[in-house]
Structure 1
C-alpha cells in the first residue's frame, strides 16, 4: 500500500502495512483473507485521505462512524453484510494500534455493524401527519394534553420514552427549546416550532394544572387523567386513537412520528449530521438509513413523472 506524500500520509500508511503483516505472519490468516483486509483498508485509507486525516491520532469514534455512513450513501452503496465486514476489518486495525501502543484507545470499541436485513423505517406523508395531528380537537384537559403530546412528538422526533420522561423543567423558557434525555442518559437540546409551542402553552396553562390537582404532585411534563406521569402505553393508545380518527388508512405508531420527523426534514433540505444530532443517534450510520427513504421517494416520483423513465413496454428503466 505504498502511497505518495500527498496521499494518506506516512504514519497512516505504515500502520496499515504493519497490521497486514501482523495478520499474515503472526495470526497466520490465509492469503485471500489478508487480501480482503487490504481491499477494505484501501477504501478506509482513501476516505481518510479525502478528509485530510494523515495520522490515526486524528481519528475518533465519530470519524469511523462517518466512514460507515459513507459506505451506505456513496454512489455504489455496500450491503449491510459488506459494511459489517469492513467494520470488522477496521475494528481489527484499531484494536491492533491500541495493543501496540500506537493509539491511546480503541475508538471502534462501542461501534456496531448495521443489522442485516434491516427494513427501511416507515414514514407517513406530510399531509397524512397533518391529518393525524388535526384529528385531536376540543378544549377539555385531555384533548389539550393529547394535542400537545403529539405536536411535540412530531416537532422533536423524540422517542416515546424520551417524551414520557420529560419534566416541566426540561422546557427552556421562551426559546422553543427542550432538553431531551436519551439512551445512556445523554442529553440533547432540540428546538420545536410554533405549532408545538402553541399546543404546549395551552396545555400548561389550561390542562396540566387540572390534571396535576388530581395527583400527588410530580414534575413530569405529561400527566395522565389521575395526575400521575403518562405511561408509554398511554401514548401508544393516544396515537392509535388519533390515527383512527384521521382515517388516513395506514398504521401509525410512536416510531412513525420519529421516522416521519427525520424523513420530512431530509426531504426539506436538512443535512444528515443535523438530523443525527436532533434524533440523538450516536452514529451517523444509523441516521443514514433515512436518506434511503428519500432516495426511494425520488425514484418513485421520477419513474411516475418523467416521460422517458419507463421502457417502451411500460416497465421500469433498466
Structure 2
C-alpha cells in the first residue's frame, strides 16, 4: 500500500498492483478497459488513466484502511471506501484537478459495474468531488510567436534535414493547433497541399479536417523536398514527419523541438506543443474567430473546453487595461 498512500503510483506500481488483484477484481478491470476502448472509443491515454485510477481504487478496497476492512468482494465497494480512497489520494498530495479526474474514473467504473450486474447499487452517484481547478494556460503573445517562427526558420536556412523538419513541426503546430500526438500520427496522404488542410485523427478516433496557412505550407514544402528524402530509408513508414533514424517522429522529440524554439524567445513562458495549441486557439479568438469554429478546429468534444480560451483573452484585455488606462 505504500505506493498508493505515500506517493503517486508509477506505471510500474500500477502494473504490479493490477497483477496482485484477486481474480474477480482483475477480470472486472480487464472488462472495464475493453468497454472504455471498444464501446466508448476513448483515446489510449484516457483509457490508461481511467484504468490506473480503478486499479488504485480496487487495491485500496483489497487492503483496507482505518475506515473499512479489506475485502475482495466488488459489491463491498461503497461510499465509505470511495471517500477513504480519495482521502488517501489527497493525503499523498493529489491536487483538485487530479482528485476530480479520479472521482470521475470511480463513478464511471461503478456505473458500468451496476449496468453489468457486478454491483447491486451505485455508490458513485453519491460521490462528491472537488471542482477541477482550470488554470489559465500560458500562451505566447503574437510578436513572441512570430519571433519563435523566425528563429525556427533561420535554423533551417542551411537545409539541414532535421532543422527543416523542426521548422515544419513548429509552423504546423502553431498554424493548426493540433495535438502533438495528432501531428506525429500524420501520414503523407493526410496533407492536401492544394487546399492547405490536414486530415487529423483525434481523440476517440474522430476524424477532422484542419486548415493551415502559407508559412506552414512553405515549411512543409521545404521539409518534403529537401529534408525528408535524406532521412527516409527503405523501410521508413509513410509518416509525414520522420526521426533521425527514418522512423515515425516520436512525440517526445517534437516536445523537445518546441521547448528549444520557444526557449530562445526572450520573456516567453516555457512551453511545449500544447502551449502552441493554446496559443493558436487564443490568437484565433483574438482575431475574431467564433467559439464554435475554434471548437471544431481543436477537436474539442464540448464547447466548455474551448471556452477556457475566452478567459485567457479576457485576462489579456484586463492586463492591457491595467497598463494603459489612466484610471485603471
Whether TM exceeds 0.5 here: the answer is yes
Asked if the contact 2:182/2:200 (under 8 Å) is kept, the reply is yes
Asked if the contact 1:276/1:284 (under 8 Å) is kept, the reply is yes
**Equivalent in 157, 162, 167 of residue 182 of structure 2:** 162
Shift of 1:248: 3.9
Counterpart in 1 of 2:272? 253
Counterpart in 2 of 1:123? 139
What TM-score, normalized by structure 2, do the two folds share?
0.58
Structure 1, unmatched stretches of 5+, are 1-79, 85-112, 310-318
SS at 1:188 equivalent: strand
Shift of 1:280: 0.2
Q: Does 1:280 align with 2:310?
A: no
Structure 2, unmatched stretches of 5+, are 1-95, 101-128
1-structure distance, mates of 2:200, 2:313: 26
SS at 1:190 equivalent: strand
Shift of 1:173: 3.6
Structure of larger gyration radius = 1
Counterpart in 2 of 1:152? 172
Matches within 5 A, 1:185-196: 185-196=205-216
2-structure distance, mates of 1:123, 1:114: 26
2-structure distance, mates of 1:218, 1:244: 31
Shift of 1:114: 10
2-structure distance, mates of 1:302, 1:247: 23
SS at 1:228 equivalent: coil
1-structure distance, mates of 2:290, 2:263: 33
Shift of 1:115: 5.2
Number of corresponding residues: 199
Asked if the contact 1:134/1:246 (under 8 Å) is kept, the reply is no
Asked if the contact 1:131/1:248 (under 8 Å) is kept, the reply is no
CA distance 1:115–1:135, shift in 2 (3 Å): farther
Matches within 5 A, 1:1-150: 116-136=132-152, 137=155, 138=157, 139-150=159-170
1-structure distance, mates of 2:320, 2:145: 20
Q: Does 1:200 align with 2:220?
A: yes
CA distance 1:297–1:274, shift in 2 (3 Å): same
Asked if the contact 2:263/2:270 (under 8 Å) is kept, the reply is no
Q: Does 1:184 align with 2:197?
A: no
2-structure distance, mates of 1:226, 1:114: 46
Shift of 1:204: 0.8
Shift of 1:217: 2.3
Structure with a larger share of its residues in helix: 2
Shift of 1:308: 2.1
Q: How well do the aligned residues superpose, as a CA RMSD in angstroms?
A: 2.1
Counterpart in 2 of 1:211? 231
Shift of 1:240: 1.9
CA distance 1:202–1:289, shift in 2 (3 Å): same
What TM-score, normalized by structure 1, do the two folds share?
0.59
